[in-house]
Structure formats: C-alpha cells, structure tokens
Structure 1
C-alpha cells in the first residue's frame, strides 16, 4: 500500500447535515463522559456517507466535536482504507490486494480495473467509477474479492469483475455475493454433508488408555 494523503483540492468548509448531526450525537452519547473520542470512526463514516469522501475541513469539524487533536483524526482517516481521501465516483471498486487474494488472482482483477477505469486510485473520465487497492477485508476463504459500494463480490475472475463494472457503469445494481454461487464460506460445490452417522455419532470411538490413569486393583 502507498502512503495515503489528503487530496490537494479541498472544499472551503464542511458542515454535517441535520440528519448526520443527529446520528453523530447519538454515537457520541454511547460512550461515557470523557470518552467521546471513541466515536471518531463512526463520525468519519458519517462524513463519508454524506459527502462521498473525507475532506480536511471535515476532519477539523470532527476533531472539534470530539475535543480531539486534528492530527489524531487525520491518523485514523489515513490509516483505514475504508475512508476515501479524495472525491470518488458513484461506484467505488475496492480490490483486496492482501496475500490470500493476491495468490488467487487479485493482480488480474487490478489489471481489469486499470483497463476499464484507469490507473490505481483513479476516477474514470465520466466520474462514475473509481477504484483502489485495499488491505484485507476478511473474506479470505472466498478470494479473490472486491467491495463495490460497501458490498462484497467474491470468488471473482477477471471476466466476472469486468461484467460487474459494466453493469454498474450502466446504472444497474447487481446482487452481491459469490461469483460461483458459493454459500457463505462453504467449499466450492456446496457445504459438506455427513451422510454416514458413524462419522459423528461416536460409534467409531475406541477406548484409549490414559497414561496417568489409575490402574484397577488386581483380583
């Protein structure tokens, strides 16, 4: 992952909408007095949901609301790849590049994004699409995967991802999930079914002599 920095182009100011402010206050009230800084991730997420990205003025507003040094809020915003630090498109494609996904073909998925959208951390010419490489999102068993607008699309092939990008570009909203219809994190082809009861009812168990067990007295 490259160093994450704020966009060089920033708005003059930021203000929470009435609805977002109510949610921010609700989050802050969840914590004991003096612990409101624990709501920093929640407030940054509300910023992003309202604006589409996290700007420097928004970071200042969050730091003032939480009584938190601005640099600490900046550290959180730049650490987590879930926060966008520049304007993004209507559809955001986040491709996992961590080891399990990389071993399963994440590089090929990124090549699709480069060809269909543009270089890494890039918004398409029409402003509709944006993509970036991110760290592990916890779906390693269904690698490779990508999050598109906060929903997971797993077991992807380059062809499957290309189709998804085309669908989103056309204004469609394809259902999230596995490209091979995997159920949860079950093995490919469906969950294992133990049809032989002896595999789980204990009937195959054999006595095992414990080395420290007391011996029965001789008759």
Structure 2
C-alpha cells in the first residue's frame, strides 16, 4: 500500500505508524544499497516516538523496509538499546566495564539501586527512571561512569547521585 505524507500506515497487528516516521524510514533507506541496513534506524525512529518498540511495530517496519518481520525482530532483540518494553522517561545506563568496575562500580550501582528503589531492568513507580547496565560508555577516564539519556557523567560517587538525578524531571 502506497502512502503519502498525510496518511498513516496501519499494520495488520493494528500498529499505527506515523506518516513522518514512514517518510523518515524511506529517507534512511536511500543511504544504503540493501534496505536491511536501515533497520536499526527504523527501529530508533519508532522508539523516539513511542519510547520503546512494541511487538506490533515489527510488521509495520518490515513492510516499509520490504524485508521479513523476522529480520526486523532479530535486529530489535539483538541491540540492547532498542527497548522492547515500556521504559521510564529517563534511561540510566551504568557502565560496568573493567575500568569502572575497578574504580567503584559496585558502590555506584548499589547507591543507584537504593536511591531509585529498583534494580537492573526495572522502572521506578513514577515511570521516571529505568536502570540498565551497559558494557562500556567509552568514558574510562571518568570511571565510574553512567549515562542518563544522552548525557555521560563521571567519575560519579554516591554523594553525586541525589543532585544528578534531581536534575532529570
């Protein structure tokens, strides 16, 4: 089914793909010889709008890219920063690389768990924060490090957390 910028693609699963998102996916496809190469960006486009990628979006993305839904699903489940369930407004990624591990990762993680009242993979009751591990933030000179949304911080101590987290409403 061809769409125009003023229409919306509804997948057989009932997922509503916004016209701007479909347009962005099609534009992304022009950068690659194979449409599969645009899959990660297509998933990120849906995630930016919805905060995560619902199962029902997989078929809609596959139809736009012209690839099998299983191909989209395999990419979506492989990449840890493609969220397949609802997450909080802010994602807190705690680096557990060797440098961070040796520089106070355990204390930082425990302080986050205590302050937020959640563990890895969980979201606070107010849907404000989701806490996740990440294998490396590339901030070894600032270990232990963490990232909130797109902002990297380090070195971070337990004493830094209250003010840091408060700055994200």
Q: Shorter-chain-normalised TM-score: which range?
A: 0.7 to 0.9
Q: State the match for 1:9 in structure 2.
A: none
Higher relative contact order (CA 8 A, sep 6+): 2
TM superposition shift of 1:54: 1.4
TM superposition shift of 1:112: 2.0
Cα separation, partners in 2 of 1:155 and 1:56, compared to 1, 3 Å: same
Mapped pair 1:128 → 2:134: no
Q: State the match for 1:25 in structure 2.
A: 26
Q: State the match for 1:212 in structure 2.
A: none
Q: State the match for 2:38 in structure 1.
A: 39
Q: Normalized against structure 1, the TM-score is what?
A: 0.65
Cα separation, partners in 2 of 1:49 and 1:163, compared to 1, 3 Å: same
Distance 2:78 2:21 in 1: 23
Cα separation, partners in 2 of 1:135 and 1:76, compared to 1, 3 Å: farther
Q: State the match for 2:99 in structure 1.
A: 100
Contact 2:26 2:64 in 1 (8 A): no
Which protein has the bigger helix share?
A: 2
TM superposition shift of 1:115: 1.3
Distance 1:52 1:24 in 2: 17
What is the aligned-residue RMSD (CA, Å)? 1.8
Distance 2:101 2:14 in 1: 39
Contact 2:142 2:153 in 1 (8 A): no
Matches within 5 A, 1:156-171: 156-168=156-168, 171=169
Contact 2:142 2:154 in 1 (8 A): yes
Matches within 5 A, 1:182-197: none
Q: State the match for 2:89 in structure 1.
A: 90
Distance 1:43 1:108 in 2: 37
Cα separation, partners in 2 of 1:124 and 1:47, compared to 1, 3 Å: same
Cα separation, partners in 2 of 1:14 and 1:113, compared to 1, 3 Å: farther
**Structure 2, unpaired ranges of 5+:** 1-12
**Structure 1, unpaired ranges of 5+:** 1-11, 172-219
Matches within 5 A, 1:145-164: 145-164=145-164
- Once the two structures are superposed, what CA deviation does each residue of 1:7-48 show, in whole Å capped at 9, x if it has no partner? xxxxx642322222221111011123xx01100111111111
- Once the two structures are superposed, what CA deviation does each residue of 1:93-146 show, in whole Å capped at 9, x if it has no partner? 111122222111222222122112212211111121211112212222322211
Greater Cα radius of gyration, structure 1 or 2:
1
What SS does the corresponding residue of 1:85 show, helix, strand or coil? coil
